Structure 1
Amino acid sequence: MEYKFEEMTQERAEDIAFNWHYNGEFSFYDMESDQEDLVEFLDPDKRGNSHFVVINGTEVMGFFSFNKVAESTIDLGLGMRPDLTGNGNGLIFLIAGIDFAKAKYNPEKITLSVATFNQRAIKVYKKLGFEEDETFMQDTNGSRYEFLKMIYY
């Protein structure tokens, strides 16, 4: 697959926020599930130039956010279009995001945080070489959830 990264426009942010809905326990990742995250995702000033959509041909496949958290560390956020999840697309999508981050930001390490119930994603992250760092509790989506911080060197 040929993935192209483009800075996220307001129109695309709104489409993702209001039209992407995940099934079952993964509805946790619906943008509308957490108002604070939703407001941040929809605010172009808060998004800045760190959010990108991933396009294959003319189709939006997903998005990545890249936030510098230390001099040589990028924290990664990502989302794949709901109908593409659970079908073996995650690894190639993640590789594209890591390659983009390396080319654009040249980080020494990349971190991400994932809800611990999302074993499907954790498996993909580990397959690519992410290592477990620590677990922590975070208030989100109207409750408190356990997350796993992972690091890629």
Structure 2
Amino acid sequence: MSHLSTPHFHTAPLNEQQAAEICEWVYEPPYDIYGWMSWDQMQELEIEFGDPELRQQQYLAVLDAKEELAGFAQLFPLQQTIRLGIGMRPDLCGNGYGTEFTLAVVRTAIQRNPEAEIDLEVLTWNQRAIRTYQKAGFHITDTYTRRTPDDMKPFYCMVYNKQTS
């Protein structure tokens, strides 16, 4: 994949093989908090995309133009809102692909529910992600603290501005 041009991303259902692959991804600190437990544990506990029904309802594979797995997304329904969870393959992070990657997920969320607000949560220290989401049309609407596996941490809620699309 050339670093000179941005790959085109699209979404598809997340299959079991892709889900298992995601569990093997290793991120560099401080982004290592975004890693998953092993695929065997995810299936055994039936959590997140380890639960076949939840995987089918909420999770997507994000694929590049060559149909290779570039990341995943969760579209979590909350009343009149779809909350996005987004994860890019570690070797693609920091290469300027995030805006197009995020917009591929946003397009799918809009197709699923054109009336819903689209938002996401991001840790306040993750300036790389915040800049990416801002370029994709999100803006910070709220700041709050919530529990993470480590401790209570500060988050921003960012909402997508559909007028920019």
User: TM-score scaled to structure 1, two decimals?
Assistant: 0.87
Give the CA deviation at 1:136: 1.7
Partners of 2:120 and 2:17 lie apart in 1 by: 26
> Which residue in 2 is equivalent to 1:69?
78
Superimposed CA distance per residue, residues 3-45 of structure 1 (whole angstroms, 9 cap, x where no aligned partner) = 232111122112102x111101000111139x89993231223
Matches within 5 A, 1:35-74: 39-56=47-64, 57-71=66-80, 73-74=81-82
Q: Identify the residue that residue 146 of structure 1 maps to in structure 2.
A: 154
| Contact 1:138 1:147 (8 Å CA) reproduced | yes
Tell me what 1:84 maps to.
92
Distance 2:148 2:46 in 1: 11
Given that 1:40 and 1:47 are in contact with CA atoms closer than 8 Å, whether structure 2 keeps it comes out as yes
TM-score normalised per structure 2: 0.81
Larger Rg over CA atoms: 2
1:20 to 10, 19, 25: 25
Q: C-alpha separation between the residues in 2 aligned to 1:53 and 1:3?
A: 10
The match for 1:130 is: 138
Distance 2:46 2:152 in 1: 17
Please give the secondary structure, in 1, of the residue aligned with 2:134: helix
**Which residue number corresponds to residue 110 of structure 2?**
102
1:9 to 12, 15, 21: 15
8 Å Cα contact 1:7-1:53 kept in structure 2: yes
Report the CA distance between 1:109 and its aligned residue.
1.7
Of Structure 1 and Structure 2, the greater strand share is in: 1
RMSD of Structure 2 on Structure 1 (CA)? 2.2
Which of residues 17, 31, 41 is equivalent to 2:36? 31
Please say if residues 31 and 38 of structure 1, whose CA atoms lie closer than 8 Å, have aligned partners that are also in contact. no
| Aligned-partner Cα distance in 2 for 1:46–1:104 | 16
* 2:49 maps to amino acid: F
Aligned length, in residue pairs = 150
1:112 paired residue among 103, 106, 120: 120
Unaligned runs of 5+ in 2: 1-6
Q: Distance between the aligned counterparts of 1:145 and 1:47, measured in 2?
A: 27
Between 1:136-145 and 1:57-66, the stretch displaced more is: 136-145
